[in-house]
Structure 1
Amino acid sequence: MQPGIITQRIAFAMMLKSRLRILLLFPALSLLILSACNRDPATSWQGYAEGEYVYVAAQRSGRLLEMAVRKGETVNAGTPLFRLDPEPEATAVAEAQQRLEQAGFRRDDLGSGERPSEIAALQAQREQARVARDLAQKELIRQESLFAENVTSRELLDRSRAAAQQTAAVVAELDARLTTARLGGRIGQRQALSAEAAALGEALRQAEWHLSQKSPTAPQSGLVFDTLFEVGELIPSGTPVVILLPETGRKARFYVPEPQLAGLHPGDKVMLRFDGGELPATISFISPQAEYTPPVIYSSDTRSKLVYLVEARPDPAGAARLKPGQPLEVTPQ
């Protein structure tokens, strides 16, 4: 479906909703006038039921693969509504998982130190150095004894002493290298790899979230009021696909003449009467402006013609009985 057609479809749905409000407003005003002639205007007001719709869209674009619900069906919160093509988000998730695993392997390898064969080679070199050190130490002792008896020269004694010191230094060097090999990587390197793994973990969670947006679920329980696309159509990101009417997304809108307005307050109880039953409701909103203003200057004779919009919400237990557009008669309690 072309983007222009999608925009026209959504605009047409919004236009129908606006016209429905206008069409319902005129009968409500007419009924208000008739009720003023036939009964005490303080006993009831005329109005209608209205729905507060939830437009469910996907954060990502894609082709519609499955529509999991049908128009008129009742769904619970968390119910899958539709599913878009998971690519390329599914590939991004797999790539992020592999990058995170690679970082984990590098961190573990750095923390484990040198390989066992490398450590074994260092141990063998150290053992050879110890043998050479012990031999050089014995030769030094022998040369010192011979020098004391004037049997050998000072030059040979100095060479023996230098050989003993050299072999001892080699042993010390190999001991240090062996200790370093067992320690693993430097602390800074390990911290850097840990930070890299944490960043890759966040990237994975973000990729998984983008993938989950390809399969939206119902944010709350309610009625599937309409579905706007067919399977196979390409849906832009942020475009509504399913319209829900929540169970608690119903309210009464009625009009109260200006002289009676002072007796109503948010929180007051009213009774909603309709064909087939009645429901208790609570006033939630009183408009600060008149819905109908006559083209004359206000006076004590004309101000009674003003009507003000009042909204009331029914008790949640019976709210689903109200149908959007249904005429209502509202009486105070």
Structure 2
Amino acid sequence: MLELTICSLITILPDYLFRSRVQGRKWGAEINFFTMWYELRWGITMCAMLTISLITVVFYFHPSTSNVTSFFRTLTIVSTTAGRVEEVFVRNNQFVEAGAPLFRMDSSSEDAAAETAQRQIEEIDAQLQLAQSERAAATGALEQAMAALTQTEDDLNRRETLIAEGSSAVTQREVDTLRNQRDQNQGAVDAAEADLEAVDTKIDVLLPAQRATAEAALAQAQATIEKLTIYAGVDGTVEQFTLRPGDVVNPILRPAGILVPSDAGRGRFQAGFDQVATQVVQPGTVAEMTCIGKPFTIIPMVITEVQDVIAAGQIRPTDELIDTSRRRAPGTVTVFMEPIYKGTTDLLPPGSRCLATAYTNNHDRLETEELSTLKFIGLHVVDTVGVVHAAGLRLRALLMPFNLLVFTGH
């Protein structure tokens, strides 16, 4: 409507003035509702052509969209295992810092397992002390056996010497008896050494291994107990959190609530422009935005990123071939915008719905490049007609609250 009004001022109006002032045709006589097309055919034709051209230039080089929002990701508050809630530390809509406890689940069985593992460690420590006493006893038995063996060998050597010298004070039977006693004492020494080695193995290998197993069981039980207390992973606000002691939570079927990160969706907006604007919307393109959450306000924005794929074209492998005729929506080009001036979007809550217009800027090309006259004028025209969309955006910003509050009755 605005484009048609502007174009009519330089086409239909001059034609009418020429007809009335020069040719003497009067409104209501020669120029009326039935003869208007014939009398003003040149002005009407030129107005239609100029309006269509202007609308094409404006909408192509300065695209607009009503699909602007600030998407944000939420974190689901879930437990690692299913169980019953023992204690709740926060309430709904409460701000929490990262690492703050949210709720704790019943840990009676895990506490019992930890207590059992602790008692096993204490029992093994007692067995270790007992093994030290057993080692002292085994060491004493070995020394006793070695002393008896030494005594027997000395007596045997003395009697064998006397027999070798032909003494009649020692009989061969006594020598044989001492030899048997020596072998018996040697066996006692070997047995004492084996007992001592067994005790050392028990002290150095068996009991430490059993203690390590008990410590691992205790650590596992403690880790399980720690997992039963759910903590906030990031700073944010707890939403839809109606958990109470005694409730049953499940990591798959029954989450406890939602945690909205404090920086989620802040100062970053996503807009979907028609695919025809693919060559226009580029990183660095200046845009303007208005939101219903901040009425009567135009927010200067800049496009920082452009998604290099169109979401409507994504596929997921299934057992059915995709027919392209079933894709009804052509999809839009997704761009990411940020405010030029910090703080201008702070009052907008994440998820706000907005309108935006991007503007083609040829100022640098006009200043630095050597262009032909026709191209120079064309780029000037492109930059100038952006004021039409800027005016339209401001008009929509003025009418948006009235449309919402008066005409839709919200």
Q: Does TM, scored on the shorter chain, surpass 0.5?
A: yes
The Cα offsets for residues 201-239 of structure 1, whole Å up to 9 and x where unpaired, read as 444333223222211101112222220422332333543
Q: Given the superposition, is the C-alpha separation of residues 146 and 100 from structure 1 closer, same or farther in structure 2, using an over 3 Å criterion?
A: same
Choose the corresponding residue for 1:86, options 102, 107, 120. Answer: 107
Counterpart of 2:264, as a letter, is: G
Match of residue 328 from structure 1:
354
Q: Which has the higher strand share?
A: 1
Asked which structure has the greater RCO (Cα within 8 Å, sep 6+), the reply is: 1
**Relative to 1, partners in 2 of residues 1:222 and 1:185: Cα closer, same or farther, differing over 3 Å?**
same
Question: Which residue of 1 is the match for residue 334 of structure 2?
Answer: 310
Aligned position for 2:182: 168
Instruction: Kindly name which structure, 1 or 2, has the bigger radius of gyration based on alpha carbons.
Output: 2
Amino acid at match of 1:242: G
How large is the Cα RMSD of the aligned pairs?
A: 4.3
What are the superposed Cα offsets for residues 1-34 of structure 1, whole Å, 9 maximum, x if unpaired?
xxxxxxxxxxxxxxxxxxxxxxxxxxxxxxxxxx
**Partner of residue 310, structure 2:** 288
Query: Counterpart amino acid of 2:98?
Result: A
Cα distance between partner residues in 2 of 1:267 and 1:172: 96
Q: CA deviation at 1:199?
A: 4.7
Structure 2 CA distance for partners of 1:199 and 1:114, relative to 1, 3 Å: closer
What secondary structure does 2:179 align onto? helix
Q: Which residue is 1:64 aligned to?
A: 85
Matches within 5 A, 1:85-164: 85-100=106-121, 102=123, 114-147=134-167, 151=168, 157-164=171-178
Q: Take 2:247 and 2:259, find their aligned partners in 1: how far apart are those partners?
A: 20
Distance 1:181 1:227 in 2: 65
Shift in alpha-carbon separation, 1:279–1:259, aligned structure 2, 3 A: closer
Asked if the contact 2:145/2:189 (under 8 Å) is kept, the reply is no
Aligned pair 1:54/2:75, yes or no? yes
216, 233, 240: which one aligns with 2:247 = 233
Q: Where do 1:240-279 residues align within 5 Å?
A: 240-250=255-265, 252-264=269-281, 274=291, 275=294
2:218 maps to 1:204: yes
CA contact (8 A) 1:81 1:242 kept: no
Superimposed CA distance per residue, residues 243-288 of structure 1 (whole angstroms, 9 cap, x where no aligned partner)? 1111343263422112112344689887765427677674364652
User: Residue 253 of structure 1 contacts residue 309 of structure 1 at CA under 8 Å; is this kept in 2?
Assistant: no
CA–CA separation in structure 2 for the residues paired with 1:102 and 1:173:
34
One-letter amino acid of the structure 1 residue matched with residue 65 of structure 2 = W
1:126-175 Cα deviation digits (max 9, x unpaired): 4344334433433333343344xxx57xxx64223323423433443344
Aligned CA distance change for structure 1 residues 234 and 284 (closer, same or farther; 3 Å): farther
CA contact (8 A) 1:284 1:313 kept: no
The answer on whether the counterparts of 1:72 and 1:225 sit within 8 Å (CA) in structure 2 is: yes
Query: CA separation in 1, counterparts of 2:140 and 2:202?
Result: 26
Preserved contact between residue 102 and residue 231 of structure 2 (Cα < 8 Å) = yes
1:87 deviation in Å? 1.8
The 3 A distance-change label for structure 1 pair 91 and 280 is: farther
Letter in 2 for 1:260: A
Give yes or no for contact 1:71–1:227 (8 Å, CA) kept in 2: yes
In the other structure, the counterpart of 1:18 is none
SS of residue in 2 equivalent to 1:210: helix
Equivalenced residue count is 279
Residue 76 of structure 1, CA deviation: 1.8
Structure 2 unaligned segments of length 5 or more: list them: 1-54, 314-323, 360-410
Give TM-score, length-normalised by structure 1: 0.64
Q: For each residue in 1:181-216, what CA deviation from the matched residue of structure 2 results, as whole angstroms up to 9, or x when unmatched?
A: 443458699656655555544443332232222111
Greater CA drift, 272-281 or 172-181 = 272-281
Alpha carbons of structure 1 residues 57 and 40: separation in structure 2 relative to 1, 3 Å: same
2:70 partner amino acid: A
For residues 82-104 of structure 1, the C-alpha deviation after alignment (integer angstroms, 9 at most, x for no partner) is 11222222212222333455556
Q: Secondary structure, in 3 states, of the residue corresponding to 1:82?
A: strand
